[in-house]
Amino acid sequence: MGSVDEALASQLRNLQDRSGRSLDELYGLLRSSGLSKHGELRDLLKTKLGMGHGDANTLVHTYLKAGSSDAAPGETDPADEIYSGPKAGLRPIHDRFMAGIERFGAYEVAPKKGYVSLRRKKQFAMIGPGTKSRVDIGLNLKGVEANERLRMMPPGGMCPFKVEVTDMSDVDAELMSWVRKAYDAAG
């Protein structure tokens, strides 16, 4: 089993321990809900069981991938394709980042080739794999000083700043404060 498969198996074991339910019971809950869309199923787990975004998202992803649902074609999370193959191990970073943004309020997710654009009235951020070992987060910020972590990008792009994230712990209060400024300015 590869490291990505081991990480997924470990996460599934941990979420079963935290929820006090077996994987079969969790899948049964999803099946009996009558819901079919990824986001609806994820939100059900978050509301009904108090699961965190990452755990709920992973469980729904594995449930739908196993073919245990009547999900309509095209109702998948756009990040599924972006974080496939050798980049699959970066998906937990993406999910943690997205869970942090959900607390801000409404926004639109616009999938692009290789990344996801996040918009309100205008784009405030983008997220996608930069390499097999790094997620790049672009931020549309003004009036902020670049530093070693918040790097200035060449002029002309939609996001003048970029943060390179290599570990879950990099999705921290500092990063989310920059994202919040970009979010607030976009809308």
107-129 pLDDT, tens digit each: 888 888 889 999 999 999 999 99
Tell me: do 173 and 83 sit in the same domain: yes
Tell me: do 53 and 94 sit in the same domain: no
Tell me: do 102 and 46 sit in the same domain: no
Q: Exposure of 70 by Cβ count < 10 A (0-12 exposed, 13-18 middle, 19+ buried)?
A: exposed
- Give the range of the structural domain holding residue 163, as residue numbers without chain letter: 79-185
Which of the pair, 44 or 24, is modelled with greater confidence? 44
pLDDT confidence band for 72 (50 / 70 / 90): very low
Our count of domains for the chain comes to 2
170: in domain: yes
Instruction: Please give the Cα distance from 104 to 129 (Å, whole number).
Output: 23
Q: Which residue, of 21, 42, 65, is where some domain finishes?
A: 65
71: in domain: no
pLDDT confidence band for 13 (50 / 70 / 90): confident
Tell me: do 18 and 106 sit in the same domain: no
129-169 pLDDT, tens digit each: 999 999 999 999 998 999 999 999 988 888 999 999 999 99
85: in domain: yes
Instruction: Please give the Cα distance from 68 to 49 (Å, whole number).
Output: 20
74: in domain: no
148: in domain: yes
Contact 178, 141 (CB under 8 A): yes
Tell me: do 153 and 87 sit in the same domain: yes
pTM equals: 0.61
Q: What pLDDT is stored for residue 149 in this prediction?
A: 96
112: in domain: yes
